[in-house]
Structure 1
Amino acid sequence: MTPQTLFSNASKSFHKGQYTDALASLNRLLDHSKDAKTYVLLAKTLVALGFREEAARTFVLAAELGGSRAEDHYAEAMKIHFELGNDDLALSLGRPILERARRDPDLAFIIASLFFKRGEKDMIRVFLPALSTSPNSRHNSLALLLLTGTPENPRDRETVANLLERMPRSMVIIMAHLVFQREVNNFAEMERLQPQIDRMLSMNAGQMMRAEAPFYNLHWLANEPLNKLASYNPNAFPACNPAERLAMPHRWDKKLRIGYLSSDFWHDHATMKLVGTVLTQHDKSKVDVTLFCYTDEQYLKAEIDQDRSHWGRIVSVRNMDDAAAAKLIRDSEIDILVDMKGHTRGGRPGILNQKAAPVQIAWLGFPGTTVNVDLDYIVGDRYVLPDQSKPHYWEKFCRLPESYQPNNPVDRPRRKLFTRADASLPDDAFVFGSFNATRKISVANIDLWIRILKATPKSVLWLMCKSDEARDNIRNRITAAGIDGKRVVFTKVVSYEEHMARLTLADVGLDTFPVNGHTTTSEQLWAGLPVLTMKGTHFASRVSESLLRAVDLPELIADSENDYVRRAIDLYENRDKLSVLAERLEANRLLKPLFDSERFCRHLEQAYALMADRARQGQAPDHIDVPALEARAEPFLVEG
């Protein structure tokens, strides 16, 4: 019998479902001919008979013979090994067809899944377009898992936009998409989706909030009752944790052992520019400081010549899981553990869900309640945490008497390095400046700035902007309102010293909402630039009010959107009034509490003492208001 007849018989038997007969014909055929089509038919027959591993090996034999369909045969072998759980074999077969996998969602899913299981996400994000445009929901779900978590990533932005086309009613995808669109100030897309968001809020606000990330929720929803529910999980930690922490055996000493937990313990991070001096000014006779650090090694390598020891004893928990880190903190007999990250990027609040210390508090990092985390207190002040907000926080309030934000008056340079010409600013214009991240510029925010520009014809808007796409979207919004695009001047991110020096080139800083400037606002005030803000309705939108009151400039706090516009116009039209405010800011800078880090430190230590006193007595946390020290009559610092 000829090879052609044997193959024909095998093929007929296979298609009739007579797989044993087909196998017999193929085995005889292989004594005469070993071509690709014979191996392929044999592999299919072995699959039908349940010999899948043998089938996979046979598909590889077919592929190794080459030909136009070799990639198809490798792909079939890889799929079988993947389904059988032979990950290493499947991955080895995927390497020759990586390029094809970028176009084939089934192959992309297999290869990406295998690398994902190994924790190697970075190299497989090339498959995001195939996975995010696939009609298969499993592929779409994997695409979500492969996102970097950084809204400025354009590939992630494209992926989420693709997923939205596939799942236009998915709350999770809609909210993720809007995060990326805010990052590039796509105001048109924000407005397009707003009616859908409003409908979702009215129909089932609780369900919608559970699909939201707390940090990004604050950027568009200044509603504390709803902010409290963002990502809420009632099972995030056992309800008995707080009481058990308080009742655990603990050695209390006269000196308090304070632990600070963060990934920001490096000199150039904005947080350390605020808090660094406070850490060095702790009273060593009353407070022992340990920094539990999980700072990324790349930042520490960049600061190899910087000494961090003056901040306190530094203990690394970077390579520990949450349970191990919590045990280390317990073994260190920490009295009060201060989480300085919360739900900001890179935070590890889960450490606090492992009963790490008798008293656990949130301070400075996250401007709102920290949902799903076992915390006793949040540290704030009466402006960011007014009485009416108490029901909307998981934590009890510990309010400092002036501002919750510390500030370093020593290492903030004040030098005149630039002229307006250096910054491409007109000498004869009134300059409104904003140096906040542009994602904080909401639709309502940009429209108020447009109203201000229309009413102040000899003014310009000076904005710091990282992204070309964001710059174009902002300019387009403003020019569409009939304003000359030349009246918007963009500036880039520069070194800290250069940034502080350029701030005084503006006449007035315009704050953003619903998320204010935080470090950015205090930097402008330190430089001598008055900042106009507006009263807010959640922590993140009340920060600048807190800072302005701590430097005694309440005239720069607007009561409403219309009042914000009115005050901006008034400062433009009445330069004498602006000069008086600038002079008062300069006089208050070294006298009022905002930049008085030593005074702030004493208030913070008193807060710690009051929290610890309750815990020593076995009392559950309750709201605390720290009394103020006597006001200073003389400047706290004399500049040389």
Structure 2
Amino acid sequence: MSATIQEALDYYRAGNYPMVMSHLLPLLRDQKKVEPTLALVLAQSCLKLDQISEAAHWYDRASSPTLPNVKPVQLLAANLYIRLKNHVRAYEITKAMLKADPGELEALRVHRNCLRTLLLLDEIEASDRQVEAMMASGHPGIFDMEKPLEHVFWSENEAYAARLTKIDNGAACTSLTKMLRRARPHAFADRIRVAYVSNDLSDRHATMRLLQGVLLQHDRSAFDIHILCHTDAGLKAVDEGMRWKLKGLHDISRKSDDDVVAMLREAEIDILVDLKGHTKDARPGIVNLGAAPIQVAWLGFPGINTGLDCDYMIGDAVVTPEESQPLWEAKFCRLPETYQPNDDRYRALPPPAERAALGLPEDRIVLASFNSQLKITPRTFRLWMEILRQAPDTVLWAMVIGDEARDNARRAAKKAGIDPARLIFADVADYPSHVARLQAADAALDTFPCNGHTTTSDKLWAGLPLVTRKGASFASRVSESLLKALGFPELVAETDAEYIALNLRLATDHAWRASLKSRIAEARFRAPLFDTERFTRHLEEAYRMMVERARNGLPPGPIDVPPLPPRTGPFRT
């Protein structure tokens, strides 16, 4: 062993990672074949110093079959490449891992995420069939493989979703922890104390664009509102003023879960509302340590919150029908019109953008979908291509990020017999520009089994007609809920065939499409969907009903909030 290598290893043992890099990088960078152990030491040092690109490269180079216990190293490389948006290399690594060991479930999970990001639709379909068969047979470990959020993108089987056990950033609740929480003595006051927990507290985040109006319109004389924020610094930095408007905002970013729970207990919070569920960077420990006598799941995660100690799930008659209740541990608290809040005061509504500026043809019917590409399933894409096939004057305008994904979508269109030039891709835009560009389209397309959620309400807010179809899970029923709350149940198809037929009518019946646009624009300030004040009063009544049950010594049970009388005029002009 050379003196340089020995010194590098000594520095590594001492935790002096910059010196490890200064010794090993010049030595290894130009070598075609490196000693895997040295590459691993270098990779670990790079990662300790948050040099992600270098770390990914050296974990990749360390992934030799001669390295003992190489699989975790390969997975580290793949996950770091994903952080760097290099899904192609992550795909290659996990594909090779699965070829060597088809039973490596964590490699399968990561690989499936790469497939969806890259829109490799044929491979997605084969993989979905494989995983569904494994779930049907009860394959060992399969229900611990997939995260709940990953599951909703492709499956509407809630029986399978209820069996998922993978939880990020914490451990699942148990029957004992639930019992201990509910046994804690608590005194309810006349003014109900509600705490919301989220890391999305910025007006640049989709969830807060929906929720900010509710947080601002709560009746503070009847409700003591606390907003617990663990939003990352980057998202805080781009907030354009919403955070300054919020009263009762507490930054818990640097507090441990135990400290947060102690704070909530000291404040005698009656209702804890978890706005994250199983979404990115959630803190399930706050919920599962038993912070409040009543704990509620709402809004952030559109599915079964397995492993989270929540008494209630806020939904509505569409997204949480009675027949689904047996699969959920949380009891349904159903709001009368829709579960989704919307902000009618601060939400941007600029004039329409010009098609020419957006690269859109003036002489074609533009069908828009700005749902995440993770939601574009093979079934969804087939439906879209059939609409394009039967309506030759249409183009598909979709938000697909990444050259590889766009190329794969074009190849899939060509394979379906559609000219790839009829696919037009959009990038991410700031919110006012996004609402402006939506108005340049003629109609909107939905995704299945995970509908648009904020994206559907954005399209309706922009006056864009959208057709959906009935689903069998929370995530696949969201667009139906929103359309009905706006007063357009006729745009909810029962079958794939009806979905195609309704979209074809939208594409070809110009008078009907114009009528729908006019009616949607009128309903925007009359129907319940965008009526923030009405929604807030319904939500507050839900909280009152939860507290009333608890005051009376009753366990959590199904709640249906009665609707307020219909408005007789617009709530905004």
2:544 pairs with 1:613: no
Pick aligned residue for 1:566 from 498, 501, 505: 501
Give the deviation of 1:322 after TM superposition.
1.5
- Cα deviation for residue 637 of structure 1 reads 0.9
Confirm or deny that 1:281 pairs with 2:281: no
Aligned to 2:123: 189
Residue 291 of structure 1 aligns to a residue whose secondary structure is strand
> What is the CA–CA distance in structure 1 between the aligned matches of 2:363 and 2:19, rounded to whole Å?
67
**Structure 1 equivalent of residue 15 of structure 2:** 88
User: What is the identity, as a one-letter code, of the residue corresponding to 2:118?
Assistant: V
Amino acid at match of 1:98: L
Residue matched to 2:156: 222
Distance of 1:334 and 1:581 partners within structure 2: 45
Cα distance, 1:414 vs structure 2: 2.4
State the partner residue of 2:557: 622
| Equivalent residue number for residue 265 of structure 2 | 330
| Partner Cα separation in structure 1 for residue 207 and residue 303 of structure 2 | 16
Q: Which residue of 2 aligns with 1:600?
A: 535
Alignment match, 1:98 = 25
Unmatched segments (≥5 aa) in structure 2: none
| Cα offset, 1:343, TM superposition | 1.0
1:112 Cα deviation from its structure 2 partner: 4.0
Q: Which has the larger radius of gyration?
A: 1
Matches within 5 A, 1:281-430: 281-303=217-239, 306=241, 308-430=243-365
Which residue of structure 2 lines up, in the alignment, with residue 211 of structure 1?
Answer: 145
What is the Cα deviation at residue 140 of structure 1? Answer: 2.1
> Is the CA contact 1:558–1:564 (under 8 Å) kept in the aligned structure 2?
yes
**Aligned partners of 2:439 and 2:565: how far apart in 1?**
32
Structure-1 residue corresponding to 2:185: 249
> How do 1:62-73 residues align onto structure 2 when only pairs under 5 Å count?
63=3, 71=5
Q: Is the 8 A contact 1:105 1:134 kept in 2?
A: no
- Report the alpha carbon displacement of residue 418 of structure 1 after superposing the two structures with TM: 2.2
Q: Which residue of 261, 264, 270 corresponds with 2:206?
A: 270
User: Quick check: 1:87–1:114 contact (8 Å CA) kept in 2?
Assistant: no
Contact 1:133 1:140 in 2 (8 A): no
Could you say if the C-alpha distance between residues 521 and 307 of structure 1 is closer, same or farther in structure 2, counting changes exceeding 3 Å?
Answer: closer
The alpha-carbon deviation at position 192 of structure 1 amounts to 4.3
Instruction: Note closer, same or farther for the CA distance 1:355–1:149 as it changes in structure 2 (3 Å cut).
Output: farther
> Is the CA contact 1:229–1:371 (under 8 Å) kept in the aligned structure 2?
yes
Q: Which amino acid aligns with 1:174?
A: L
CA distance in 2, matches of 1:490, 1:534: 24
Identical amino acids, percent of aligned pairs? 37
1:201 to 126, 135, 145: 135
Paired position in structure 1 for 2:38? 107
Closer, same or farther: CA 133–164 of 1 in aligned 2, 3 Å: farther
Matches within 5 A, 1:459-474: 459-474=394-409
- Decide whether aligned partners of structure 1 residues 612 and 457 sit closer, same or farther in structure 2, where only a CA change above 3 A counts: same
Deviation at 1:199, TM superposition (A): 3.8
More deviation, 157-166/458-467 = 157-166
CA distance, structure 2, for counterparts of residue 100 and residue 630 of structure 1: 76
Following superposition, the deviation at residue 550 of structure 1 comes to 0.2
Q: Which residue of 1 aligns with 2:515?
A: 580
In structure 2, relative to structure 1, the CA distance for the partners of 1:208 and 1:157 (3 Å cut) is farther
User: Aligned residue for 1:435?
Assistant: 370
Query: What do residues 568-625 of structure 1 show as CA deviations (whole Å, max 9, x unaligned)?
Result: 1122232222222222212211111000000000000011111111222332211111
> Residues 530-574 of structure 1, C-alpha deviation per residue, up to 9 Å, x if partnerless?
111111111111110000000010111111111111111122232
Alignment of 1:129-168 (within 5 A): 129-132=60-63, 134=65, 136=67, 138-145=69-76, 151=82, 153-155=84-86, 158-159=89-90, 161-168=92-99
1:299–1:199 CA distance, 2 compared to 1 (3 A): closer
- Of residues 545-554 and 145-154 in structure 1, the stretch that sits farther from structure 2 once superposed is 145-154
In 2, Cα distance between equivalents of 1:90 and 1:595:
54
Query: Deviation at 1:379?
Result: 0.5
Once the two structures are superposed, residues 399-435 of structure 1 have per-residue CA deviations (whole angstroms, 9 ceiling, x without a partner) of: 1011000001122232324222222222221111111
* Cα distance, 1:154 vs structure 2: 3.5
CA 1:128 to 1:394, structure 2 compared with 1: closer, same or farther past 3 Å? farther
Matches within 5 A, 1:457-606: 457-606=392-541
Secondary structure, in 3 states, of the residue corresponding to 2:517? helix
Q: 1:326 to 1:100 in 2, by over 3 A?
A: farther
Cα distance change of structure 1 residues 89 and 522 upon mapping to structure 2, 3 Å threshold: closer
Distance 1:317 1:311 in 2: 15
Question: Which letter maps to 1:522?
Answer: S
- Give the Cα separation in 2 of the matches to 1:263 and 1:580: 40
Q: What is the TM-score normalised by the length of structure 1? A: 0.83
Please give the secondary structure, in 2, of the residue aligned with 1:364.
coil
CA distance in 1, matches of 2:17, 2:429: 48
Q: What is the rounded CA distance, in whole Å, between the counterparts of 1:215 and 1:206 in structure 2?
A: 21
Which segment is superposed worse, 520-529 or 170-179? 170-179
Give the Cα–Cα distance (whole angstroms) in 1 for the partners of residues 105 and 308 of structure 2: 24
Seen in structure 2, the aligned counterparts of structure 1 residues 212 and 131 have a Cα distance that, compared at 3 Å, is farther
**Per-residue deviation, 1:635:** 0.7
2:561 is the alignment partner of 1:634: no
Structure 1 residues 137, 525: CA separation in 2 closer, same or farther (over 3 Å shift)? farther
Cα distance in 1 for residues equivalent to 2:7 and 2:340: 60
Aligned to 1:27: none
Q: For the residues of structure 2 that align with 1:156 and 1:504, how far apart are their CA atoms?
A: 32
Confirm or deny: 8 A CA contact 2:376 2:447 kept in the other structure.
yes
Q: 1:499: how far off?
A: 0.9
Pick closer, same or farther for the CA change 1:325–1:142 going to 2, 3 Å: farther
With the length of structure 2 as denominator, give the TM-score of the two structures: 0.92
Deviation digits for residues 109-147 of structure 1 (CA, Å, limit 9, x no counterpart)? 33445676x685736333231244545462321443566
**C-alpha RMSD over aligned residues:** 2.5
Paired residue for 1:33? none
SS of the residue corresponding to residue 70 of structure 2 reads: helix
Report the residue type matching 2:173 in the other structure: F
* Bigger Cα displacement from structure 2, 209-218 vs 187-196: 187-196
SS of residue paired to 1:540: coil
Alignment partners' CA distance in 2, 1:583 and 1:413: 19
